[in-house]
């Protein structure tokens, strides 16, 4: 009994004091990087946290969480012509097809399909313009102080921008929602058009979900201006870590895994000695 108490006491202490090799992270070829220990709200590493960046498809975190909060996942969505006027990364819907809102949210988050994101936005907001207003209002409400959204997909249109700090705020807000978490940890989602029975398969772009056993989400992104982007989360032995990585010239998956292991390694070493 006493040994069990000591074990969990030490585990709780370790979760509050993660170690990280800042010098090693300084050498990573990334535009911006944030690493946070969610257990104690501690920023473990920060590079260019307030830099204005293009968020690419990390934008869809906002699109999805708004839809999850505002709409019933069983709502029927009829695909319109406006929803299909996007490029690239499309599921390939046809005008007039009907889907569950929940399936469209999953397609937008897991495979990052832009037609799915547009369908979600128009379904919830009534128009893209109104949904953009909803996105910006939500951003202000949750404390994203230096962001502006001009579209629900993450296209580099107009003044669409954010900062690593704001994207961290967005991710932390979204992962409080269990529906959001259940979706972003999926490798794949299969669904059908309700009025044509056409089959669709959304496969994740997040390679951490396939290669790192402790990964539990969140979202990838890419445009030519934003570069490869990633918000990733992993949980292990009482630790809970969130990474925001923007415009990475590194292998995102390898770099993120190494960062997670830096955060987790101190607890493993101490626990092995108990």
In angstroms, rounded to a whole number, what is the distance separating the alpha carbons of residues 125 and 152? Answer: 11
Q: Please, what sign has the CA dihedral across residues 68, 69, 73, 79?
A: negative
Provide the 8-state DSSP code for 148: B
User: Alpha-carbon distance 271 to 70, whole Å?
Assistant: 44
Closest by Cα among 118, 97, 117 to 107:
117
245 three-state secondary structure = strand
Q: What does the pLDDT read at residue 87?
A: 87
Confidence at residue 18, expressed as pLDDT on a 0 to 100 scale = 55
CATH 3.40.710.10 at 17-272, yes or no: yes
Q: Which residue has the tokens 């951490």?
A: 208
Which among 36, 73, 35, 42 is positioned nearest to 179, based on CA atoms? 73
| pTM (two decimals) | 0.91
* Residues lower than pLDDT 70 in the chain: 1-19, 266-274
Give the number of C-alpha atoms closer than 13 A to the C-alpha of residue 20, restricted to the C-beta side. Answer: 24
DSSP 196: T
- Give the SS3 label for residue 106: helix
């Amino acid at each position: 009994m006493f040994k069990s108490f000591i074990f969990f006491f030490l585990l709780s202490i370790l979760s509050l004091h993660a170690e990280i090799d800042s010098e090693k992270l300084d050498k990573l070829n990334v535009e911006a990087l944030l690493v946070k220990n969610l257990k104690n709200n501690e920023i473990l590493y920060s590079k260019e946290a307030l830099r204005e960046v293009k968020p690419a498809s990390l934008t869809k975190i906002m699109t999805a969480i708004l839809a999850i909060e505002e709409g019933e996942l069983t709502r029927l969505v009829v695909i319109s012509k406006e929803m299909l006027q996007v490029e690239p990364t499309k599921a390939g819907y046809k005008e007039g097809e009907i889907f569950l809102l929940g399936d469209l949210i999953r397609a937008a988050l897991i495979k990052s399909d832009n037609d799915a994101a547009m369908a979600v936005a128009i379904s919830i907001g009534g128009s893209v313009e109104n949904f953009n207003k909803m996105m910006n209002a939500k951003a202000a409400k949750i404390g994203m102080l230096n962001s502006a959204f001009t579209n629900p997909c993450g296209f580099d249109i107009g003044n669409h921008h954010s900062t690593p700090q704001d994207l961290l705020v967005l991710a932390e807000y979204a992962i409080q929602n269990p529906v959001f978490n259940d979706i972003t940890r999926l490798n794949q989602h299969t669904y059908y058009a309700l009025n044509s029975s056409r089959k669709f398969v959304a496969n994740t772009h997040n390679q951490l979900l396939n290669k790192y056993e402790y990964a539990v989400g969140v979202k990838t992104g890419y445009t030519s201006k934003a570069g490869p982007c990633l918000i990733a989360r992993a949980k292990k032995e009482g630790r809970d870590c969130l990474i925001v990585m923007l415009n990475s010239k590194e292998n995102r998956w390898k770099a993120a895994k190494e960062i997670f292991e830096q955060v987790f390694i101190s607890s493993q070493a101490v626990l092995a000695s108990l």
